[in-house]
Amino acid sequence: MTDPMSDTVRAKSVEELAALIGARALGDTQIGIESVASVGSATLGTVAFVEDLKALENAQDCGASALIVPDGAGERARKIAQKVPAIIEVAIPKLAFALFAKILHPQKQREPSIHSTAAIAESADIALTAYIGPHVSIGENSTIGTGTRIEAGVVVGDDVTIGIDCVLHPNVTLYDGVTIGDRVVLHAAVCIGADGFGYVRDDVAYHKFPQVGTVIIEDDVEIGAHTCVDRGSLGRTRIGRGTKLDNQIHVGHNCDIGERVVIAAQTGISGSVTIEDDCVIGGQVGFGDHIRVQSGAVIGSKAGVLPGKIVRPGVWWGIPIQPRDEYKRLNAHVGRLPQMREELKELRTRVKELEEKLLPNSADD
């Protein structure tokens, strides 16, 4: 079956777009906008944005049909970006730009269908409005919600629940018994519910500790390509509502990640880590086991968090992590070590010369 894609929309006027987010529009508010673009690449029919007045100075050659600027900068923008027919004033330009992108570039839609190559268990419950792509496998007693889109090569195990309006991109794997909420997006090759890394050793070998728990992914979560979320060993691993995980992240067994958490790529999280709501984690951060990151904490990239630590609200960096200001001071000192080494060598030389002048030599004794 051919699947028409409704991933484009008719052009919207500047006036329409501004009204949708309560912004103020100046200039030719009837001009049509079809897509979003950067200031440097913008052409007729696109909307671009500048975050602040400093960036506005670089927009004088912008070729967009509309430019989003901070509140109060509209008249100045019209003088600087004279090629731009319309200006949109808003409190947070980057947020407005993102909202316009959702409107102008909606998510791809497919006609409800089940591809002939899909392998679906008889006991599976597939909503009539779902899309099931080529070579998808869906196991016994699994449920696929209304409007959900499952792309090519996805494997859904037994007793899996997937909510409404989800998107599973190619080659996602959901092990048995996991639960996916509504409006969840899983990018290519995400793996949910693999066994956690838990072993007990005797004198001869390692023996696997039971990995019989589950994974719960709550509503509005987005998980980047090749990220792996392990099942709980005896309980659950949870990713809270509205949380966003980047590519190539590992979430160990029995972790509890709260709501609206953002975690950048290549971060590794050991088992039984709790990250509370509204935390921000940079890329390549390493977490030991049984850590608690309290709500509102920000951890900079490449930081290392020792097992069992409690990370309080604030900005943290370094290995092991420390308050950002302290880390910056220490880092500045480390940067001066070569210079300090040369200064120390010079001081040693001068001290030796002074000793030779001041101390009597053996011939005078």
How far, rounded to the nearest angstrom, does the alpha carbon of residue 295 sit from its chain's CA centroid?
A: 17
Report the b/e string of 242-276 with b at 16+ CB within 10 A: bbbbbbbbbbbbbbbbbbebebbbbbebbbbbbbb
Q: How confident is the model at residue 5 (pLDDT cuts 50, 70, 90)?
A: very low
- How confident is the model at residue 329, as a pLDDT? 79
**Percentage of residues in the chain with pLDDT exceeding 70?**
96
Cβ contacts of 257-260, under 8 Å, gap ≥ 24? 258/295, 259/218
What are the sequence ranges of the domains in the chain?
Answer: 12-104, 113-324, 330-365
Annotated catalytic residue within 105, 226, 253, 290 = 253
What's the pLDDT score for residue 37? 95
Q: What is the pLDDT at residue 136?
A: 98
% pLDDT > 90, the chain: 81
CATH of the domain spanning 113-324: 2.160.10.10
The answer, yes or no, to whether residue 51 has pLDDT greater than 80, is yes
How much is the pLDDT for 264?
98
Estimate to the nearest angstrom the gap between the alpha carbon of 75 and the chain centroid: 36
Q: How far apart are CA 252 and CA 231, in angstroms?
A: 8
C-alpha R_g of the chain = 28
pTM: 0.84
Determine contact, residues 165/202, Cβ cutoff 8 Å.
no
What's the CA angle centered on 342, arms 339 and 344, to 5 degrees? Answer: 110
253 catalytic? Reply is yes
> In what helix (H) or strand (E) does residue 79 lie, and over which residues does it extend?
helix 74-80
* Closest by Cα among 213, 223, 288, 308 to 261: 223
Residue 2 has a pLDDT of 37
Beta strand 222-223 with 185-186 is parallel
The pLDDT tens digits for 99-138 are 999 999 988 888 999 999 999 999 999 999 999 999 999 9
The average confidence (pLDDT) of the chain is 92
Which residue, 160, 175, 311, 163, is CA-closest to 232? 175
Who has greater pLDDT, 166 or 5? 166
pLDDT at 363: 47
What is the tens place of the pLDDT at every residue in 200-230? 999 999 999 999 999 999 999 999 999 999 9
Strand pairing class (191-194; 214-217):
unpaired
Mean pLDDT across 54-59: 90
Considering the segment(s) 12-104 as one domain, its CATH architecture is 3-Layer(aba) Sandwich (3.40)
Least confident of 26-40, 196-210, 242-256, 336-350: 336-350
Distance CA 311, CA 329 (A): 20
